[in-house]
Structure 1
Amino acid sequence: MKKLYIDATLPFRWGPHPPVGIPRVETALIRQALRREAPPIGFFIVDPQGRGQMLDDAELRYLRRLVDGELPQPTGGGDSSYLARLLKALSIMQAAPFAFGREFDRVAAIFVSGSEKRRGLKFQLSKTLIRLFKLVKSCRRQRRADTKDPLQDAGAVCFLSSASVHEIAAKKPAGAIKCNVFTIMHDLIPIDFPQFVGPHHARNFVRNTAWQLENSNLLVCVSKYTADRVRCRAMASDPGRVPLTAVASPGAFLKESVADRKVPAERPTGRRKFVLYCSTIEIRKNHILLFKVWHRLVPVLGDRLPTLVLCGRWGWMYDELVAFMAAHPELREHIQFRSNLTDAELADLYRDAEFSVYPSAVEGWGLGAAECLDFGLPVLISDAPSLTEATQGLMPTIPAQDVEAWCAAVAKACTDPNWLAQLREKIASRYRPIREQDFFATIVDHVAALGPSDPGRQSHRPKPMAMEARRRPSGLGAEQPAFRRVDR
């Protein structure tokens, strides 16, 4: 196989706070690449001009600690003063070899200000201070010496992160990329379902995807569903230039990241039961359906209805949720919001929940649903195809917009302990977790299939459309218990 280089731009941009979604998947890839001993793998970043720069030894050491979660993070500190939290955030930034991206600015501002919804004067002031510090640090940093650019190595294969694809597609740097490129395709949701994202994000996504289809030799898709959508998009864009498309399902990875932590032998008692939904709070994730379900079930089930714990960062287009809560203030006793959690705290929620819900309208993979099964937690999922794939066909499936069916399913889970026990047993006996190293090995196998004589981007003849992941877990295609509308 050609020399392999891995782009570490995304974790450096993300910074030392718990990764979610796409950053968690790409961080897992980098973590496993760092642990590989032979053949050696090179690591680089893409600078603002779109050029690759190899990491030096000090930067590699920082990267190892970053992806292993060993660095201080802007979490906790609820009893600390505003100044103490601000100084902690600035010290984290000062210790980094590169400037973090805007998402770290927002997370650090939430930590400093205590404003989870990313709104208000205190939050804006905190974010401004953090970005001013970043600007001053960037001005004072010594110019980095030029290094080898692996993107210009015709004998190399380079992984480009989603962050770097965004930069390169936006700035279109001079000089063609000479290496073979592979990228991870997480979804095409902003193209297929633009109503779930803002117009600016949708435009950027269309541009980035077009660049990937034109310049990638291999597109690694996180699910069969995503691979099908990518194939359709590639054929519609240019039937004569279709990159090799492969599937490497990423599993979940959270449980592995906290595997060395001691956990209680028994689940805690004496506190109210809760149902968990771990997801960014945004319109696509369909939280409004759960609000309506809990609103209907509170008077029916009373104390038998567990608290709904919504674990995730506030994202965008959630005004309907705020309005619904304002119109039904009694729900505040039954719905809790948790955000800015460490991986260990999130793992505890998965261990302690009665069951989970995942009503998302559409997903590229369904990381949160897979995380549930990793911890043996039953999860009620929507009929989004990738969620069935992520849960290996083992969990009950309910139409994403069918409030009555969701009421029936949640009520059954709350009142039928035997049914929940059967679901837990099904997970224990039939679920096959996807380990990080297997995910990485599958990607390496796909990269090796490019071969030393791959024609690259100069070829305009169609290439093979897809390769199946060699380590696909068993259980896919199993029966899917479904809930339909019922009269109540």
Structure 2
Amino acid sequence: MPAGDALSNGAVWLDLTRTLTRVGQAAPTGIDRVELAWADHLLTVNPQMRGLCRTTRGFLLLPPKGVRALVARMRDGGAGLGRADTWSRLTGRGARPRHRAEAMLRGHAIDRCPPWGLAAMARRHGARIYVNPGHSNHTARVLGAMRRSGAEVVVVIHDLIPVTHPELVPPKQPARLAGRIAQVAGNASLVVAVSEDTERALAAHWPSGGPRVIRAEIGVPVRAMPVAMKSGAGRFLMVGTLEPRKNHAVLLKAWSILAQDLPPGELPRLDILGQTGWRGAEIAEEIGAHAQFGKTVFLDTAAGDDALAEAYRLADTLLYPSLAEGFGLPPHEALAHGLLPICSDLPVLRSGLGADAVYVEPNDVYSWVETIKKRMSGNLDGSRERSAGRPGWQDHFGTVAAALAESRDRAERP
């Protein structure tokens, strides 16, 4: 069987629950973008693909037209949503984007079922492969039902940060993730790690006898990649959810030191883009209280895709002081726009970015200050050309398809 057939033929179900819950939530996160990329790919190669969404009432099964409608509303920030239906209004949730999206999708659905009816619905429609790329529905009710239906269950794992760095997440997340990983181990046919770092973390926490784990790095945009990186540095950018793990604090300290060291007219601009996550309100308050806020430090927590693209266009350097990552998409996006990424010295970032980035110890504020000054003076231009061989989305999908085809070939051998 050709590798491409594994995803391009037959009833491949894509779990889009995360996308449904994220409609109207400003710019998509890295995991959001992965789920959207899977939707784009399957819509392109497989006319028999279906979208599965868990709603407040059960599950909806969507044809390609319904999937396209959901993806469009995700990308326009929910601007194209209509009114909520009677059910959402009766439950008092009609104004929320998610519930307005549910109302829209109910009009597209080709089937639906209560929470306990998923396995039967999957059998009715001959589900062959179920793909879960969004870190949602890692439960016995969903994964177990799809396994019992006879479908191959493919789960994409982005990171194990709640287990490997419990101090950086809400207190209950480590136990929740451990439970989710147990469900994945017990029900998945194939597990996809998005980076070497995630693959290593899985190996350390994976039960013996669990399903096969492969690595398929997520794609990054390449068509917009300039031949040369932008030179000079007067405008810096930080992209990432406002949460402790992203380490905004070190850049706020760096800008305080820069304000002392440089004449007022020479202090560079720092744009911070990211929606609020865990403890995000506290971080936004700290940014707003900074002496340079509104002068050289700016915050946008509601930036959509267009605003993000414009920020990349205007900046020349990305600062990424994250304390832990599963993949780290913004530095790759920065490279695609010709920016030099200055990143935390994390193995996952070095593995993915190589010589295309500059690395700094994440909490060494003085190293950040000196590196920023070097960039401003023109003594830190980075690699002038993008390194060859960076994985693209077709590599990601091809790796998954090949693994599925290989598993099927083994199962069909006499």
| TM bin (shorter chain) | 0.7 to 0.9
Aligned-pair distance for 1:179? 2.0
CA distance in 2, matches of 1:172, 1:443: 21
**Residue pair 1:50, 1:167 contacting (<8 A) in 2 also:** no
> Using a 3 Å threshold, how does the CA distance of structure 1 residues 429 and 285 change in structure 2: closer, same or farther?
closer
Q: Secondary structure at the match of 2:148?
A: coil
Q: 1:306 aligns with which of 243, 256, 268?
A: 268
1:284 paired to 2:239: no
Aligned-pair distance for 1:286? 0.3
Q: 2:201 aligns with which of 191, 215, 229?
A: 229
Q: Secondary structure at the match of 1:450?
A: helix
Q: 2:212 aligns with which of 244, 247, 256?
A: 244
> Using a 3 Å threshold, how does the CA distance of structure 1 residues 218 and 393 change in structure 2: closer, same or farther?
farther
CA distance in 1, matches of 2:373, 2:298: 19
**Residue pair 1:308, 1:336 contacting (<8 A) in 2 also:** yes
Using the aligned pairs only, state the percent identity.
24
Aligned-pair distance for 1:300? 0.9
Q: Secondary structure at the match of 1:391?
A: helix
**Residue pair 1:29, 1:436 contacting (<8 A) in 2 also:** no
Say how many residue pairs are matched: 386
Aligned-pair distance for 1:375? 1.3
Q: How does 1:23-34 map to 2 (within 5 A)?
A: 23-34=32-43
Aligned-CA RMSD value: 3.9
CA distance in 2, matches of 1:14, 1:317: 19
CA distance in 2, matches of 1:380, 1:132: 36
> Using a 3 Å threshold, how does the CA distance of structure 1 residues 145 and 352 change in structure 2: closer, same or farther?
closer
**Residue pair 1:252, 1:434 contacting (<8 A) in 2 also:** yes
> Which consecutive unaligned segments of at least 5 residues does structure 2 have?
114-119, 225-229
Q: 1:437 aligns with which of 394, 409, 412?
A: 394
> Which consecutive unaligned segments of at least 5 residues does structure 1 have?
75-88, 100-126, 260-266, 456-488
**Residue pair 1:54, 1:150 contacting (<8 A) in 2 also:** no
CA distance in 2, matches of 1:360, 1:453: 42
Q: Secondary structure at the match of 2:191?
A: strand
Query: What's 1:45 paired with?
Result: 52
CA distance in 1, matches of 2:135, 2:364: 36
Q: 1:356 aligns with which of 318, 326, 329?
A: 318
**Residue pair 1:49, 1:173 contacting (<8 A) in 2 also:** no
Q: 1:92 aligns with which of 78, 81, 84?
A: 81
CA distance in 2, matches of 1:166, 1:315: 21
> Using a 3 Å threshold, how does the CA distance of structure 1 residues 412 and 444 change in structure 2: closer, same or farther?
same
CA distance in 2, matches of 1:24, 1:310: 19
| TM-score, normalised with respect to structure 2 | 0.79
Query: What's 1:112 paired with?
Result: none
> Using a 3 Å threshold, how does the CA distance of structure 1 residues 132 and 150 change in structure 2: closer, same or farther?
closer
Equivalent position amino acid for 1:6 in 2: W
Equivalent position amino acid for 2:77 in 1: Q
CA distance in 1, matches of 2:130, 2:142: 19
Aligned-pair distance for 1:326? 6.8
Q: 1:12 aligns with which of 20, 25, 28?
A: 20
Q: Secondary structure at the match of 1:275?
A: strand
**Residue pair 1:183, 1:216 contacting (<8 A) in 2 also:** yes
Aligned-pair distance for 1:274? 1.7
Query: What's 2:116 paired with?
Result: none
Query: What's 2:121 paired with?
Result: 149
| TM-score, normalised with respect to structure 1 | 0.68
Q: Secondary structure at the match of 1:397?
A: strand
Query: What's 1:134 paired with?
Result: 99
Aligned-pair distance for 1:349? 1.4
Aligned-pair distance for 1:188? 0.2
**Residue pair 2:234, 2:376 contacting (<8 A) in 1 also:** no
